[in-house]
Amino acid sequence: MSRRRHSDDSDAGQPHKRRRTSEPSEIEERLESLICRVGEKSNSSLESNLEGLAGVLEADLPNYKSKILRILCTVARLLPEKLTVYTTLVGLLNARNYNFGGEFVEAMIRQLKECLKVNMYNEAVHLVRFLSDLVNCHVIAAPSMVAMFENFVSVTQEEDVPQVRCDWYMFAFLSSLPWVGKELYEKKDAEMDRLLSQTESYLKRRQKIHVPMLQVWTADKPHPQEEYLDCLWSQIQKLKKDRWQERHILRPYLAFDSVLCEALQHNLPPFTPPPHTEDSVYPMPRVIFRMFDYTDDPEGPVMPGSHSVERFVIEENLHCIIKSHWKERKTCAAQLLSYPGNNKIPLNYHIVEVIFAELFQLPSPPHIEVMYTTLLIELCKLQPGSLPQVLAQATEMLYMRLDTMNTTCVDRFINWFSHHLSNFQFRWSWEDWSDCLTQDLEKPKPKFVREVLEKCMRLSYHQRIIDIVPASFSVLSPANPVCIYKYGDESNRSLPGYTVALCLTIAIKNKASNDEIFSILKDVPNPNQDDDDGEGFTFNPLKIEVFVQTLLHLAAKSFSHSFSALAKFHEVFKTLAESDEGKLHVLRVVYDVWKNHPQMIAVLVDKMIRTQIVDCAAVANWIFSSELAHDFTRFYIWEILHSTIRKMNKHVLKIHKELEETKARLARQHKRRDSDDDDDDDDRSTDREDGPLEEQIERLQEKVESAQSEQKNLFLVIFQRFIMLLTEHLVRCETGGIDVFTPWYKSCIERLQQIFLQHHQIIQQYMVTLENLLFTAELDHHILAVFQQFCALQA
Amino acid sequence: RGRAGPGSAAMSAGGTLSILRSDSYAELSQYRDQHFRGTRYDQERLLRKSCTLYVGNLSFYTTEEQIHELFGKSGDIKKVIMGLDKVKKTACGFCFVEYYARGDAENAMRYINGTRLDDRIIRTDWDAGFKEGRQYGRGRSGGQVRDEYRQDYDAGRGGYGKNVQCQ
């Protein structure tokens, strides 16, 4: 219960700027609000709201023209889901004020160039689309738009440029056609035909090696996972065949035709696409995700076909709505559900499909995964009579197609479904999935159910899961997450180290210090003693075993207890795990103790990396070790590996940032000195001043290089181990004459793909090393194909 | 957990819109800790850069592991501190979750706040930072204040409120 005080207390002691009645910013806010919210919550029609707003803005032009220009440009760039509303508004303004129309077009072109310069390609597409719809509003002359598109398409003739560059210009052209195709074709059919034929030949010759890596399912049935440009091209071809008739897009400007066609049009200035530079980073190719068609909702309105332009427009707009409102889940859900289309489209199906499209997108979803879970819950709240059923239907369909679903996407499905269930008392018709009980446990369906139940348990507790599934599912239920202490039973007293374990237990319970622990451990014999060549070899697996088993057992009660234990005996850990073998053995023992509780293993590994008891490479080697082979395909293993890689990446970024900040401090110091212009300064005093900072920079530089080297090494270790493992399997299959494509193999090769995809920006730095050292031509083509697909992503 | 889009570049290519800046879930609530040592202004300054969340309406039986699993969905957790009954030293239905990065805490406010854990709608709020002693309930009986006065029966929070129990 919060005890509230009067809100004026919050001003007490605050060095607040007193809020000036600064009119300019208030007016700007008012203008922005008027423009952004046009048509919302109004009893009048959108058209009359637009007319009213046009009048208000026209009156404000003499004083606030630049603000209005800026707001309209921003709205064009950031609210693409309301594209036609704002092109209509600009059309009305242009009709009333020709010069303003011209200045707006110029401002848009400037903004487009700026976006392209800073690699904001997704927003640039919205600008291009906006410009093209301005043709429909008689603001821009159709021939000049066609000329711009001619320049776009001619990018495909450029030599020695990445395919993704040509792809973007092609996409910008094609994706504008649903809005403006009709008008452009009516005015310039010969030119358009030429452009379309150039498009066709480009699409035929472009390479699509990258596509398998981005597909959610490897099978083409029931819905092929098409490459995004191929799909769009099919849609445009169909649109052309339909004589460019497009009926889905809301076009408020149609109501103003008589006004707008009186307006004078502007010509777009000739637009030369900025050249490709080393810093250009183009959007990654995509695969269009489809899971529904009109047969899935037989009673509702017909879902537009996969190659209809309506489907494209609906999906684009729904994605844009999510992009605009991802931070505000209730607003996002409400905006999605109020997408215009009324009863003409099965909106719930489109929404669910678009959300899963984002959730399963490869390499990564556009937003954090948990957002989608919560968004779906909000949607269920707003449409309790219909959306849950669509979601259940979707879940069932995803389950049915697990056999060909990409492993990374299965991970996300597991996370989503278990988290979703935990919000609905884990209610699910598990019996419907009894077919998986008769399958081999490594097959995708039973594996999925096992992983889901394990995640459900993590969000609740073991007995709960036993209670919610039918008895027949017990074979898939997770293990009770208890610790396994090898020295626990009297019957184990013959084990080497048993007595020391007892000693340790008593000592630790009596709050022994690190030194006391060391002295107890001194007496533990080293089973490797015979191999010791007298170099003071410190690795003693038995010491590690006894200490780690005992400590973890004593601290088993909770994560906090275990973390305290790691912290308290950090010194002992560091000493025992000093060598690489030591680190590996610590990890092995942690696994032995906690193999029933994967979540505990994950948090312990995380803590040990952060406190530098083990390093990232040790974790990678441990994951690929033979001891972990039978857990190799379990989800938790990959969560640990990717979490490890992320920690490494963040570490490098952090030190790099420190280095940049220190360099900036030195630069500021120089600047201050230069501006002081004191004649008494001599070289010695400047050196004295710069000394400490320069030393720091040198140290940080070394740290950065060492961290980057460690990072590269981590990836090389991981790739190397993958190659070894996969090669072994391939050779074994070939000599034995068995099919390569086992569930294990599919999982493993997709895990390798996942490494590339999830960390692609960092791995791009290592391309030369990877090509020359690891992914050479001698490699089995199955493995090499993964590398080639990866190279093709930004080629 | 990547998200596309350069931040500062957005400014040079035109800025953003206030309706798109709306982030109501991540804002400060009205609650201010009455036991906080410092001014209201100090507290708010800390709240605005905090990586720590207070989590309320937990069941007494909800474990650190469950909290870790749920809140781990918005980012790497630095620490979970369970709220304890001052007398019994058992869980009394709240906790603190500290992240390494503020952005991860913000995502928890946006997507975990108001959803369920152990079938209960949990509530998260910004916290100025854990200090020793703050893990204890401040109700007269040792638990949270809200459990002193509530009239309903809540099986996950010791049944009836304390003053109802004492009747």
Q: Do B14 and A33 touch (CB under 8 A)?
A: no
User: pLDDT, tens digit, for every residue of B123-142?
Assistant: 999 999 999 999 999 999 99
Residue with tokens 């460019």: A244
What's the whole-number mean pLDDT along residues A222-248? Answer: 95
Q: Give the Cβ contact number of residue A54 at 10 Å.
A: 23
**DSSP 8-state symbol, B17:** -
- What are B126's strand-pairing partners? B53
Q: Do A373 and B111 touch (CB under 8 A)?
A: yes
In this predicted complex, what is the ipTM?
A: 0.93
Tell me if B57 is assigned to some domain. yes
pLDDT at B14: 58
The answer to whether A358 faces chain B, any CB pair under 8 Å, is no
Tell me if B94 is assigned to some domain. yes
Residues of B in contact with A647 (CB under 8 A): 76
Q: Say which of A5, A73, A120 has its CB closest to residue B6.
A: A120
The answer to whether B41 faces chain A, any CB pair under 8 Å, is yes
Tell me if B46 is assigned to some domain. yes
- What is the distance between the alpha carbons of residues A390 and A369, in angstroms, rounded to a whole number? 20
Q: Say which of A111, A415, A560 has its CB closest to residue B14.
A: A111
What's the whole-number mean pLDDT along residues B91-117? Answer: 98
What's the whole-number mean pLDDT along residues B108-137? Answer: 97
Beta strands in A182-302 (DSSP E): none
What's the whole-number mean pLDDT along residues A479-492? Answer: 92
| Mean pLDDT of chain A, nearest integer | 92
Residue among A142, A160, A216 at smallest CA distance from A795: A160
Tell me if B140 is assigned to some domain. no
Please give, rounded to a whole number of angstroms, the shortest distance from the CA of B70 to a CA of chain A: 7
CATH number for position B59 = 3.30.70.330
Residue A546 carries which side chain, given as an amino acid letter?
Answer: V
Residue A3, pLDDT > 60, answer no
Q: Do A560 and B80 touch (CB under 8 A)?
A: yes
Residue A12, pLDDT > 80, answer no
Q: Give the Cβ contact number of residue A342 at 10 Å.
A: 8
Q: Give the Cβ contact number of residue A15 at 10 Å.
A: 5
Q: Do B31 and A2 touch (CB under 8 A)?
A: yes
The answer to whether B48 faces chain A, any CB pair under 8 Å, is no
Number of structural domains found in chain B: 1
Q: How far is CA A82 from CA A48, A217, A335, A448, in A?
A: 16, 33, 12, 40
Residues of B in contact with A373 (CB under 8 A): 111
The answer to whether A611 faces chain B, any CB pair under 8 Å, is no
Q: Say which of B40, B116, B146 has its CB closest to residue A9.
A: B40
Which of residues 397 through 426 in chain A touch B, CB cutoff 8 A?
415, 419, 422-423, 425
pLDDT at B10: 42
Identify which has the larger pLDDT, A16 or A443.
Answer: A443
Angle at A63 between CA A59 and CA A68, to 5 degrees: 75
What's the whole-number mean pLDDT along residues B42-47? Answer: 97
Q: Do A13 and B146 touch (CB under 8 A)?
A: no
User: If 0-12 CB within 10 Å is exposed, 13-18 middle and 19+ buried, where does residue A59 land?
Assistant: exposed
What's the whole-number mean pLDDT along residues A236-255? Answer: 95
C-alpha B101, offset from chain centre: 15
Residues of A in contact with B66 (CB under 8 A): 458-461
Q: How many CB pairs under 8 A join A and B?
A: 150
Range(s) of the domain holding residue B107: 38-128
Q: Do A120 and B32 touch (CB under 8 A)?
A: no
8 Å CB contact between A755 and A718: yes
Which of residues 84 through 103 in chain B touch A, CB cutoff 8 A?
none
User: pLDDT, tens digit, for every residue of A369-386?
Assistant: 999 999 999 999 999 999
Which of residues 673 through 712 in chain A touch B, CB cutoff 8 A?
none
pLDDT at A464: 97
Identify which has the larger pLDDT, A462 or B6.
Answer: A462
Residue among A635, A637, A638 at smallest CA distance from A414: A635
Residue with tokens 């650190």: B64
Peptide bond into A363 cis (omega under 30): yes
pLDDT at A523: 83
pLDDT at A172: 98
Which of residues 52 through 71 in chain B touch A, CB cutoff 8 A?
63-66, 68-70
Beta strands in A17-149 (DSSP E): none
Please give, rounded to a whole number of angstroms, the shortest distance from the CA of A740 to a CA of chain B: 33
Residues 6+ apart with CB under 8 A from A707: A651, A652, A655
Tokens matching residue B75: 């980012």
- What is the distance between the alpha carbons of residues A534 and A619, in angstroms, rounded to a whole number? 28
B1 — pLDDT class (breaks 50, 70, 90): very low
Q: Do B80 and A73 touch (CB under 8 A)?
A: no
Residues 6+ apart with CB under 8 A from A413: A360, A398, A405, A448
The answer to whether B13 faces chain A, any CB pair under 8 Å, is yes
- What is the distance between the alpha carbons of residues A459 and B147, in angstroms, rounded to a whole number? 25
pLDDT at A9: 42
Q: Which pTM does this prediction carry?
A: 0.93
Residue A692, pLDDT > 90, answer no
Share of chain A above pLDDT 90, in %: 86
Tokens matching residue A431: 């019996």
Tell me if B23 is assigned to some domain. no
Tell me if B26 is assigned to some domain. no
Residue A536, pLDDT > 90, answer no
Angle at A117 between CA A113 and CA A122, to 5 degrees: 80
Tell me if B20 is assigned to some domain. no
Residues 6+ apart with CB under 8 A from A139: A87, A90, A91, A94, A101, A104, A105, A263, A265, A266
Q: Give the residue from chain B lying closest to A70, CA to CA.
A: B14
Tell me if B119 is assigned to some domain. yes
pLDDT at A619: 98
The answer to whether B116 faces chain A, any CB pair under 8 Å, is yes
User: pLDDT, tens digit, for every residue of A96-118?
Assistant: 999 999 999 999 999 999 999 99
Residue A713, pLDDT > 60, answer yes
Q: Say which of A79, A374, A606 has its CB closest to residue B115.
A: A374
